[in-house]
């Protein structure tokens, strides 16, 4: 009788396990290949086709870049954090950058002054006139991906030597 109870218990456990296992299904997410235009040619990213949503504060990396002034090991660690944030999130906030509030405010005021100018003045420094993909980009003139719509924003891009 004990053998039968064990077998019955084993049987019930196996049935329960089979039922549980049969109801658990995992579907791999479907990605869409997105082509992005860059100054160095196209790059590709796999993106989920889900609708956009607001990011929560804990999803946006905040990088302490004071390590940039440290030794080689500190700089390499910072470079790895930046790489990870750029590749996995696409953007990040920085703190402890050493830029004064006054300098940030002056840059903001200069930006406001530039974008307040008439369109033809801004076009004098158009990206289309630049050698290194730098300059003013008018509303609707940029498209990061040929599979997406045009970007509707005004930008000014620059690089440092």
Among 146, 147, 124, which Cα is nearest to 138's? 124
Q: What is the mean pLDDT of the chain?
A: 78
The per-residue pLDDT for 12 is: 45
| CA-to-CA separations, 70 to 28, 67, 73, 97, in angstroms, rounded | 42, 5, 8, 13
**Quick check: 161 pLDDT over 90?**
no
Q: Are 45 and 53 in contact (CB under 8 A)?
A: no
Confidence of residue 48 (pLDDT cuts 50, 70, 90): confident
- SS3 (DSSP) at 90: coil
**Quick check: 136 pLDDT over 90?**
no
Mean pLDDT of 18-28: 62
The per-residue pLDDT for 6 is: 43
The per-residue pLDDT for 153 is: 58
The per-residue pLDDT for 158 is: 66
pTM for this model (two decimals):
0.55
Strands in the chain per DSSP E: 32-36, 43-47, 62-64, 93-95, 135-137, 155-157
Confidence of residue 145 (pLDDT cuts 50, 70, 90): low
Confidence of residue 7 (pLDDT cuts 50, 70, 90): very low
| Tens digit of each residue's pLDDT (9 = 90 or more) over 70-114 | 999 999 999 999 999 988 888 899 999 999 999 999 999 998 999
């Amino acid at each position: 009788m004990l053998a039968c109870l064990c077998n019955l218990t084993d049987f019930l456990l196996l049935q329960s396990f089979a039922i549980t296992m049969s109801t658990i299904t995992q579907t791999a997410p479907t990605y869409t290949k997105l082509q992005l235009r860059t100054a160095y040619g196209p790059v590709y990213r796999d993106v989920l086709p889900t609708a956009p949503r607001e990011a929560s504060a804990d999803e946006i990396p905040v990088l302490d870049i004071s390590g940039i002034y440290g030794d080689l090991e500190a700089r390499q660690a910072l470079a790895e954090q930046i790489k990870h944030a750029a590749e996995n999130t696409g953007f990040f906030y920085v703190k402890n950058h050493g830029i004064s509030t006054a300098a940030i405010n002056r840059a903001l005021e200069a930006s406001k002054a530039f974008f307040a100018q008439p369109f033809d003045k801004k076009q004098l420094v158009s990206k289309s006139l630049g050698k290194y993909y730098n300059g003013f980009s008018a509303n609707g003139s940029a498209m990061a991906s040929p599979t997406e719509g045009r970007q509707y924003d005004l930008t000014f891009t620059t690089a440092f030597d």
